[in-house]
Chain A
Amino acid sequence: MNKINPFLIGIIAVIIIGLGWGISTYNSFVSKNEGITTAWAQVESQYQRRLDLIPNLVNSVKGVMAQEKEIFEAIAVARTQYGGATTPSEKALAAGNMESALSRLLVIMENYPVLRSIEAVTSLMTELAGTENRIAVERMRYNEVVRDYNVMVKTVPSKLIANWFGFAPATPFEAAEGAQNAPQVSF
């Protein structure tokens, strides 16, 4: 029986270990990246939901709030802006503008107590409040996934694999002023 060099075996073992580690790191980068995409899609679908609710809300309050032209224009501009946005960062920006226009509308609406007795309005407000909360939840989850991924991109030794295969850090949602407290819909 011809002897096998133990040194050679050692090298083979190291190669196997290194390869296994490299592959598993690469794969977990890919799956985490995929997780970020999914989480972002969840955020976007809630944005879309809000976008779909707004015309209904605007139509149901327009009659009572006829003189508040300015705010309805601001909302229309924000909607158009969101519709034209293509990249995630553009969408996030447009959604932020939408949020501020919407919260202004909600503040103004408090001056019209008569709206409270319209069932369509109260029901839309409930749906809107629910949507704001869903957006907050999905954003939080998106940030969690991003944080998890970014820690892996930025720490040694997984950083090596990230550099080799070009996995760049992802951008989390930054809390714009007052963004963490979504528009209060206490109507």
Chain B
Amino acid sequence: MLRKFLSSCLLLCTLVAFATSVHAYSSPGSPDGFVTDITATLASEADAAIERIISEHNASTSNEIAVAIISTVGADETIESYATALFEEWGVGTAKNDNGVLLLIALDDRELRIEVGYGLEGALTDTTAQNIIDNEIIPYLQSDDVAGAVENGVRAIALAIAGEYVATPSQSQSVDDSWFEAVIYALFFIPQWFMAITARSKSFWAGGVFGAVAGAGLSFLFTSNGSLSLAGAGILTTILTLVGAFLDWLISRAYTKHMKTNTTIPWWAGGSTGSSSSSGSSSSTGSSSFGGFSGGSSGGGGASGRW
């Protein structure tokens, strides 16, 4: 019985593995800066110099230029499809303006591509991108000067897209703060309020109803944006119903006991113990290190070349 179950699990795992391997795209991993070189071709000073050019450009324009140096795109991918997949994975550019550009160089394939985000297609047209590739990048690559090729290419790209957007400072900070508050509220106040109510009702079914409503609400939220399957939603709702009923039973019992023994009601059941909400450690690290790209997208615009 158990063996049968395990073997079917194994089968399922293999199926899932196969399903994902249909996409031949193999990611170079998460970006370790604006410049990500998994071939270790760039010297660290050159890497840092290019990084500086891009971050200065990013600070004044909010444009994001990503550089990826890989060895090969693999047998089943073209430089174009790889660039689109990588752009999508990293999310180069801001989500609002889609103002990202990806310079992808596959050294062993001797191919490269400039993939342009939707929001920059007007400034960096396919023809401009082609000219940058042909005149600014390929001559350096032909003499095996990868650092020179990248630096020159990045400068030319930055020049082309400079006037398009203006950076608005501390935009992301306010978003982070509101998120933080919402999470604190959800984690702390709602359960406390819920417990205080259920503690006073001696029954246990009320918690079950609360659980069901919460489950239905959550399912509604998560299935409508596609992050939860319907079967998952059903299971979630059922579990929350049971958990709610169980919690209510526990709390009601504890509350009744406290009332009988005439001790103070604990804070979680609505007693007045001045539960100060600890204003959480605001985790602003202050360092200006690379924090990933900002969710921009592209639609296959740009140009490719080989040398």
Residues of A within 8 A of B (CB): 4, 6, 9, 12-13, 16-17, 19-21, 23-25, 27-28, 31-32, 42, 46, 123, 126-127, 129-130, 133-138, 148, 152, 157-158
Partner of B224, one of A13, A24, A42, A137: A24
Q: Check B230 against A158 for contact (C-beta < 8 Å).
A: yes
A136, B299: Cα distance in complex, Å = 9
Docked-complex contact A20 and B301, CB < 8 angstroms: no
Residues of chain A within 8 A of B81, CB atoms compared: 136
- A24–B227 CA distance with the chains assembled, in angstroms: 12
**B233-282 with Cβ < 8 A to chain A:** 233-234, 237-238, 241
- 8 A-B residue contacts at CB 8 Å? A16-B209, A21-B219, A23-B220, A27-B220, A27-B224, A130-B303, A133-B80, A133-B301
Interface residue stretch chosen among B1-9, B36-44, B122-130, B137-145: B122-130
Query: How distant is the Cα of A25 from the Cα of B205 in the complex, in angstroms?
Result: 27
Given that A28-B226, A42-B299 are contacting pairs, would A137 and B84 also be in contact in the complex, using a CB cutoff of 8 Å?
yes
Pick from B205, B224, B231, B233: contact of A31, CB below 8 A.
Answer: B224
Q: Does B197 contact A (CB under 8 A)?
A: no
Measured in the bound complex, the distance between the Cα atoms of B219 and A157 in whole Å is: 15
Structural contact, A126 and B303, CB atoms closer than 8 A: yes
With CB as the reference atom, state the residue of chain B lying closest to A42. Answer: B299
For B113, the closest partner residue in chain A by CB is A133
- Picked from A16, A19, A23, A138, the residue with its CB within 8 Å of the CB of B300 is A138
Q: By the criterion CB–CB under 8 Å, are A28 and B84 in contact?
A: no
Cβ B130 vs Cβ A126 within 8 A: yes
- Among listed B163-171, B174-182, B210-218, B285-293, interface-contacting one: B210-218
Which A residue sits closest to B212, measured CB to CB? A13
- The answer to whether A138 touches B299 (Cβ under 8 A) is yes
Q: Are B300 and A126 within 8 A (Cβ)?
A: no
CA distance A46 to B126 in the complex (A): 14
**Among A19, A24, A123, which residue has its beta carbon within 8 angstroms of that of B223?**
A24
Q: How far is the CB of A36 from chain B (nearest CB, A)?
A: 13
Q: How far is the CA of A17 from the CA of B224 in the complex (A)?
A: 15
CA separation between A82 and B20, bound complex, in Å?
Answer: 36
Point out the residues of chain B lying under 8 angstroms from A25, CB to CB: 223, 230
Cα–Cα distance between A31 and B220 once the two chains are bound (Å): 13
Asked if A134 and B301 make an inter-chain contact with CB atoms under 8 angstroms apart, the answer reads yes
**Within 8 Å of chain A (Cβ to Cβ): is B208?**
yes
Q: Is the CB of B241 within 8 A of A13?
A: yes
| Minimal beta-carbon separation of A184 from chain B (angstroms) | 10
Most chain A CB neighbours (cut-off 10 Å) among B216, B241, B302: B216
Q: B230 touching A20 by the CB < 8 A rule?
A: no
Nearest Cβ on chain B to A171's Cβ, whole angstroms = 20
List chain A residues, Cβ under 8 A from B303. 126, 129-130
**With A6-B205, A9-B205, A42-B299 as contacts: A24 and B220 at CB distance below 8 Å:** yes
The CA-CA distance from A32 to B230 in the complex, in Å, is: 14
Cβ-defined contact, B216 with A129, below 8 A = no
Q: How far is the CA of A132 from the CA of B187 in the complex (A)?
A: 49
In the bound complex, residues from chain B placing their C-beta under 8 Å from that of A4 are 205
What CA separation (Å) do A134 and B301 show in the bound complex?
6
**Interfacial chain A residues near B300, Cβ < 8 Å:** 130, 133-138
10 shortest interchain CB distances as A-B pairs: A20-B216, A137-B300, A130-B126, A134-B300, A24-B220, A133-B300, A24-B223, A126-B130, A13-B212, A123-B127
